[in-house]
Structure 1
């Protein structure tokens, strides 16, 4: 059952700890605080999912780039200097820019200067700087799961294990003290996690209420509800 909670916490209970907190630097009393990674077979499944999503959305971005306003794409954002049209044909910068854009129809022309190509769209990294700005798909709408995350300084970000820790010890005070939540925020985060479990349980039972997976989710729902109900009066 703990493995199931670990997987669900990695998928749905994603609260990151501050980058200044690292394993081994502090002592915690009841909670583990740092959430373990997904099991290897699930990481493989996540990688496959991300690859499929990246391929689909990469092609979508390439198709959407045909609707871009190329005149604005060749315009510098602050000075508004425009490098499109024949009037700039004698510019060495424009010649270089134009040559870099051959065969690179889906990315910002200025991003070509860094050696980026349409293939870089498929990696789903630095999308905001690669995509055409007048035919942009916000990154938040691309359903990728980042199973590893770093901050701007390259430090690893760790997921908070509050959902799994609460399942183990059932103490809201420990979540507040060790996992760096205040009591109210801890309860509502745990409640949201429980509601996710309940929603999954209902959906699985509708598919097949005798399936072992559906039964496991229902048992987890009951267990989590019992633990959450026990601390309701303390909030």
Structure 2
């Protein structure tokens, strides 16, 4: 991530909001009606806590998008190289289409312009399509289309089955707060609230944290901030 951003921003609340998005993750498991009711309760009872993380600034979002694009390119190249390597060592793979007996593992003797030539050289294009199987190429799917199916919401390539490209594995920063159905949800602002008012009791009473989890959650964010402080010095 571009650390220069933290030298530009002078507002401590805005910086803490960014840290909360990056280093904490506690969704409010509530419906829209429950969200509206909780918002009314917060206003009527004049809670000290915000309860819900506010949106990040456009400047920070722009930097996150730039970072995520780099991550996508790096892991996209990784997928390509792994695919090429696996194909190079697996020489006994069946690459003959049924019925037509067209082989993709041998050089073609078909004349230019014939159906077999178009099928072999234009539909498959194995040299240019390292991620596409000869059998899948009949659908017209190309390597470029395959690699463009990156789902930013899930942080994964939709067509890359049996591979885990979630943010748990790929260092992708998700700040959009949307689940796998693209439904928006809200994050608990406990870290930002504690930064502003320093009350552990408010986190329990207002943010609905359990007493047993509060200490560990605050310790985690304290250790993260200490590491960030050291890296920026």
Q: TM-score range by the shorter chain?
A: 0.5 to 0.7
Match of 1:16 in 2: 27
Match of 2:200 in 1: 172
Moved more, 156-165 or 167-176: 167-176
CA distance in 2 between partners of 1:60 and 1:104 (Å)? 15
CA distance in 2 between partners of 1:109 and 1:129 (Å)? 19
Count of residue pairs brought into register by the alignment = 192
Within a 5 Å distance, the mapping from 1:1-40 to structure 2 comes to 1-18=12-29, 20=31, 23-26=35-38, 27-28=41-42, 29-40=47-58
Match of 1:217 in 2: none
Within a 5 Å distance, the mapping from 1:37-76 to structure 2 comes to 37-68=55-86
- Distance verdict in 2 for CA 1:149–1:88, change over 3 Å: farther
Match of 1:225 in 2: none
Does residue 190 (structure 1) correspond to residue 202 (structure 2)? The answer is no
Residue 157 (structure 1) shift: 2.1
- Distance verdict in 2 for CA 1:33–1:121, change over 3 Å: farther
CA distance in 2 between partners of 1:36 and 1:90 (Å)? 60
Partners of 2:50 and 2:189 within 8 A in 1: yes
Using the size of structure 1 for normalisation, the TM-score is 0.65
Q: Runs of 5+ in structure 2 lacking a partner?
A: 1-11, 102-115
Match of 1:204 in 2: 232
Does residue 124 (structure 1) correspond to residue 124 (structure 2)? The answer is no
Partners of 1:65 and 1:132 within 8 A in 2: no
CA offset digits 1:161-182 (Å, max 9, x no partner): 1100111222222212322320
CA distance in 2 between partners of 1:120 and 1:172 (Å)? 49
Superposition RMSD in Å: 3.7
Larger % of helix: which?
1
- Distance verdict in 2 for CA 1:189–1:131, change over 3 Å: same
- Structure number, greater radius of gyration: 2
